[in-house]
């Protein structure tokens, strides 16, 4: 019943806005106004055409974001994943504004665009009058309508399920599909890696490398779910070291974060090299190329994990892990036997 209501509301809203915009275009000058086309209007119009069968494939893009590079890239990757899963078309909107810049904005966004290459091989968005649904303003109605009501009519079927923590996922509604179906990323990961390595080659580490990402800087102990205590990260590092020592591996541990060295003394004692307040693009590359990635509660390391072909030690937060990722507890512990199995496979592949 709820799903039917969502679809009915979408039809009604799409029809009203489409009609209103037609009236504005015809009578705008007479009334002293012009049509005001928002991303919501575009979404509703395109969805209505899709539902009526006049536009079988939706055009999905991702733009109008100003937050960090990790969050924006994560949303773009989710948009690509959603479009591919349902047989729609991803249309690329380049980064326009990214938070935490360390250089003039045009150079900052260009650097991130050239790092991920998410627009490589994709249709570019129209500059004047975009004709694509903006995944960054993704409304849950689109999720319900397409994945439930119209799933059978699409060229492909995608598995969906009701997540027990759905209310939390709606905090980021434009990531709802991927968070509810994280293993769906596996179908596009080869494509994301191919894009990333279009203008670079995979790095062969001289020494087995463990990269640790810790969210600090704008996140402190008073940030609740975003903060990870240093003791928990230290526990993870100790367990990783114990297993690597058992395999007589030669390795290095590198920690990427923000702050003062004194804030990470416990991790230094565990043998971690500190790279604090380093260039963010370089840090992202180091996380991607590491043999083992110890993640944080951040899209920054989540994006790195999607591209990386190493072992991922995931810290639970509102973005769900892929099934091959190894989940850590709040105390930093993880399943040693599963880790050892993945480590053996990694050694064999080198």
Structure tokens at 236: 């993870």
**Are 207 and 330 in the same domain?**
yes
250 and 166 within one domain: no
| 217 shares a domain with 176 | no
Alpha-carbon separation of residue 136 from 73, 74, 174 (angstroms): 11, 11, 6
Question: What average pLDDT does the segment 212-233 reach?
Answer: 78
CA–CA gap between residue 225 and residue 211 (Å, rounded): 22
Read off the pLDDT band of 238 (50, 70, 90). Answer: very high
- Stronger pLDDT, 147 or 118, i.e. the higher one: 118
CA distance 124 to 310: 31
Which domain-ending residue is among 197, 232, 264?
197
Which of 130, 165, 197 is the last residue in one of the domains?
A: 197
Distance of CA 190 to the CA centre of its chain: 15
pLDDT band at 279, cuts 50/70/90? very high
* pLDDT recorded at residue 246: 94
Residues 183 and 74 in one domain: yes
Residue 309 has pLDDT above 70, yes or no: yes
The 10s digit of each residue's pLDDT in 224-237 is 677 788 899 999 99
Given a cut of 60, whether residue 350 has pLDDT beyond it is yes
Read off the pLDDT band of 152 (50, 70, 90): very low
Mean pLDDT of 211-229: 76
Question: In this structure, what DSSP letter does residue 129 have?
Answer: S
Does residue 111 sit in the same domain as residue 160? yes
pLDDT on residue 163: 39
- For position 3, what pLDDT does the model report? 55
| Same domain assignment for residues 265 and 294 | yes
* One domain for residues 189 and 220: no
At residue 7, the pLDDT reads 59
pLDDT at residue 54, rounded to an integer: 74
Looking at the fold, whether 190 and 307 belong to one and the same domain comes out as no
pLDDT at position 31, please? 47
Q: Residue 225: what pLDDT?
A: 74
33 and 161 part of one domain: yes
Q: Are residues 107 and 169 in the same domain?
A: yes
Domain limit, last residue, from 197, 226, 252:
197
Domain with 110 in it = 2-197
Going by pLDDT thresholds of 50, 70 and 90, the confidence category of residue 177 is confident
Q: Quick one: average pLDDT of 243-247? A: 95
Domain count for the chain, please give it: 2
- In percent, the amount of the chain with pLDDT more than 90 equals 52
Q: What local confidence, expressed as pLDDT, does residue 97 receive?
A: 95
**Residue 275 pairs with which residues in a beta bridge?**
256
Domain match, 187 and 230 both: no
Hey, is 209 helix, strand or coil? Answer: strand
Query: What mean pLDDT do residues 199-215 have?
Result: 92
Q: Per-residue pLDDT for 142 more than 60? A: no
Rounded to an integer, the average pLDDT of 228-255 is 94
Instruction: Encode 115-129: b = buried (16+ Cβ within 10 Å), e = exposed.
Output: bbbbbeebeebeeee
Same domain, 17 and 157: yes
Query: For the domain that residue 263 is a member of, what is the CATH number?
Result: 3.40.50.2000
Helical residues (DSSP H) of 119-217, grouped into ranges: 140-144, 166-169, 176-180, 189-196
Q: Using one digit for the tens of pLDDT, what is the confidence trace for 60-114?
A: 899 888 899 999 999 999 999 988 988 889 999 999 999 988 999 999 999 999 9
Query: What pLDDT is recorded for position 158?
Result: 38
Work out the mean pLDDT of the chain and round it to a whole number.
Answer: 82
Q: In this predicted model, which residue has the larger pLDDT, 321 or 130?
A: 321
**pLDDT tens per residue, range 16-58:** 766 766 666 666 544 445 445 555 566 667 767 766 777 668 8
Which tokens sit at 3? 């799903």
pLDDT at 21: 63
Long-range contacts of 228-233 (CB under 8 A, 24+ apart): 228/296, 228/297, 228/315, 230/263, 230/264, 230/266, 230/267, 231/266, 231/332, 232/328, 232/330, 232/331, 232/332, 233/267, 233/294, 233/332
What is the pLDDT confidence band of residue 162, given thresholds at 50, 70 and 90? very low
Given a cut of 70, whether residue 165 has pLDDT beyond it is no
């Amino acid at each position: 019943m709820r799903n039917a209501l969502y679809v009915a509301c979408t039809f009604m809203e799409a029809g009203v806005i489409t009609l209103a915009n037609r009236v504005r275009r015809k009578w705008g000058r007479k009334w002293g106004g012009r049509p005001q086309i928002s991303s919501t209007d575009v979404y509703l119009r395109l969805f209505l055409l899709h539902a009526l069968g006049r536009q079988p494939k939706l055009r999905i893009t991702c733009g109008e974001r100003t937050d960090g590079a990790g969050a924006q890239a994560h949303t773009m990757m989710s948009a690509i994943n959603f479009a591919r899963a349902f047989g729609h078309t991803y249309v690329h909107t380049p980064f326009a504004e990214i938070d935490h810049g360390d250089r003039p904005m045009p150079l900052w966004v260009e650097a991130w665009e050239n790092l991920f290459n998410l627009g490589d091989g994709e249709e570019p968005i129209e500059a004047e009058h975009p004709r694509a649904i903006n995944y960054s303003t993704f409304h849950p109605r689109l999720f319900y309508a397409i994945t439930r009501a119209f799933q059978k009519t699409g060229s492909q079927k995608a598995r969906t399920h009701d997540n027990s923590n759905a209310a939390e996922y709606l905090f980021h509604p434009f990531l709802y599909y991927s968070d509810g179906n994280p293993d769906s990323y596996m179908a596009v990961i080869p494509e994301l890696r191919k894009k990333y390595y279009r203008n670079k080659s995979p790095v062969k580490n001289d020494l087995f490398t463990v990269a640790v990402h810790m969210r600090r800087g704008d996140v402190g102990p008073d940030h609740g779910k975003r903060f990870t205590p240093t003791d928990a990260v230290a526990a993870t590092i100790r367990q990783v070291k114990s297993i690597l020592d058992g395999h007589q591996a030669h390795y290095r541990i590198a920690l990427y974060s923000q702050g003062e060295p004194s804030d990470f003394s416990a991790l230094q004692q565990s043998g971690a090299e500190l790279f604090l307040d380093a260039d963010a693009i370089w840090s992202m590359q180091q996380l991607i190329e590491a043999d083992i990635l110890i993640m944080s509660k951040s899209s920054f390391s989540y994006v790195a994990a999607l591209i990386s072909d190493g072992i991922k030690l995931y810290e639970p937060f509102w973005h769900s892990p892929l099934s091959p990722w190894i989940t850590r507890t709040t105390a930093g512990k993880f399943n040693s036997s599963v880790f050892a199995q993945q480590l053996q496979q990694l050694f064999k592949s080198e």
